[in-house]
Amino acid sequence: MKNITVITVVFVIAAVGTFLLINKSRGNLSSPEISTVQSPQVAALVSEQNIVTITENGFSPSMLTIKTGESVTWQNKSGVRATVNSDPHPTHTDYEPLNLGEFSDGESLNLTFDTPGTYSYHNHLNSSQTGTIAVE
């Protein structure tokens, strides 16, 4: 009985190995191709990625137009701590939700804008760095 089990296991391994070799030689086991075609849902998500980067030179882009209900992400790539605060400096009273506070280099902050309007902001730690979000 043990001999039949051993022969069966060897036969199965040989069959699987032969199958893999044949398919590889035909090219059927190549890496799958990555599609660059996006579905409408994926394209909509990509277009909603409103990213503002803060560098040592300021916010980029410094002006961003979005639709009501969209979010903006600020990424700190300045090499130092920075802030996102509503104008005017130093009171930050124009649009309270935009007072996102300090964040370290490499970190991100996010805000969803639910009300149409034009919102200006600055880096409180370097008030010459400014930006504007226009919400349609």
pLDDT tens per residue, the chain (136 residues)? 565 654 554 454 655 455 544 544 454 444 333 333 333 444 344 444 899 999 999 999 999 999 999 999 999 999 999 999 999 999 999 999 999 999 999 999 999 999 999 999 999 999 999 999 999 9
For residues 68 and 118, give the distance between their C-alpha atoms in angstroms, rounded to a whole number.
Answer: 11
For residues 85 and 126, give the distance between their C-alpha atoms in angstroms, rounded to a whole number.
Answer: 11
DSSP conformation class of 56: T
Report the length, in residues, of the chain: 136
For residues 56 and 67, give the distance between their C-alpha atoms in angstroms, rounded to a whole number.
Answer: 28
Residue 113's H or E segment, with its range, is none
CA end-to-end distance (rounded Å), the chain: 78
For residues 56 and 62, give the distance between their C-alpha atoms in angstroms, rounded to a whole number.
Answer: 13
Q: Where are the domains of the chain?
A: 1-29, 48-135
Helix, strand, or coil (residue 103): strand
Q: Which CATH architecture has domain 48-135?
A: Sandwich (2.60)
For residues 100 and 127, give the distance between their C-alpha atoms in angstroms, rounded to a whole number.
Answer: 15
What pLDDT is recorded for position 37?
Answer: 39
